[in-house]
Amino acid sequence: MASHGARGRSGGRPTLEEVAARAGVGRGTVSRVINGSPRVSDATRAAVEAAVAELGYVPNTAARALAANRTDAIALVVPEPETRFFAEPYFSDMLKGVGAELSETEMQLLLIFAGSDRERQRLAQYLAAHRVDGVLLVSVHADDPLPDLLAQLEIPAVISGPRSAAETLPSVDSDNYGGARQAVEHLLSRGRSRIAHITGRRDVYGAQRRIDGYRAALSGAGHQVDETLIEAGDFTEEGGRRAMVALLERRPDVDAVFAASDVTAAGARQALREAGRRIPDDVALVGYDDSAIARHLDPPLTSVRQPIEEMGRRMIDLLLTEIADRRPLASRGLERRQLVLATELVPRSSS
């Protein structure tokens, strides 16, 4: 029988990696099959089950957890104040996707806020005690020390969007550049020529890429980029209102606005209405995220849809693969570990 005769290449019990190699799939896929996840095709499930039978692989969850100091817990870390987490649909949609994917496993999810120095110090102590098997980092700023801390502690981690073009950690993001370019090209197609951009936080790489997409759309259409039409925001409603007030003071001739988030667009809408500007007659308005806010504004907001729930699901898939990978973090390549998902413009009557 296979269970008596099969041995791994090392001569010991067959490993998860050897099952994956025999079946021609990744380690994460084998884990999902063994854990009974429905997110595997019938053909893949059959290949994995055949490899398990041929090699005589016997998963021993308890022994594996003890040997690897496993906790069967994952932390979702948000380096933002709790008030922002509950105010912005982006975070709840991300949590929904993460929770849905994790429900197919035996792992527990911990939600941890790290928006203050004290919370960060407490989190560092918690992580140093290796109380979780892996970490999901959402809303990471360029100067955030948490990713480097996780690398030093050799804790598998996945972030929702790279910190820069030279990111070394696995990440899942949407096409911020392409989405922003779509938004501005849409406004140009509506005959708008003085298109302003209210940015997100400049220390967030995704916000930088949206600025790049805004510039590229204008340049591609033969328009010179006017720096007086770019105003700093911070993804918040109040930040959007303040930015719109500043833009109207500096450029009262503005005829369109691309805001870096739907929440920011809601703040800009408030300022436009207070100034007596009609949307879209006087000023067209486009947001980003395609959250519930976009559908409920008056008029309904044109927005760039990013697949936030799917991003959460893919982050979990990637993190489980990272946890199953026994190699040192520094020795792993980045192939297939930095994912970028497509965006889609959803036109509504604000533009």
DSSP per-residue codes, 196-254: EEE---TTSHHHHHHHHHHHHHHHHTTPPP-GGGEE---SSHHHHHHHHHHHHHH-TT-
pLDDT number for residue 2:
37
Return phi, psi of residue 301, to 5°. Answer: -90, 125
Structure tokens at 170: 């696995």
Six token digits for residue 194: 């003085």
Give the helix, strand, coil percentages of the chain, each rounded to 5: 45, 15, 40
What SS3 class is residue 137? strand
pLDDT at 129: 83
Q: Whole-angstrom Cα distance, residue 339 to residue 306?
A: 13
Average pLDDT, 10 consecutive residues per value, the chain (351 residues)? 42 76 87 74 89 77 50 87 80 89 84 85 85 89 82 87 86 96 98 97 93 98 96 95 98 97 97 97 97 94 95 91 71 68 97 96
Position 63 scores a pLDDT of: 42
Q: From CA 300, how far away is CA 298, in angstroms rounded?
A: 5
How far does the chain reach from its first CA to its final CA, in angstroms?
68
pLDDT of res. 332: 58
pTM exceeds cut of 0.85: no
How far is Cα 301 from Cα 351, in angstroms, rounded to an integer? 8
Q: Cα dihedral angle (138, 139, 145, 146), rounded to 10 degrees?
A: -10
Q: Residues 6 or more apart from 252 whose CB is under 8 A from it?
A: none
Q: Is 281 helix (H, G, I), strand (E, B) or coil?
A: coil
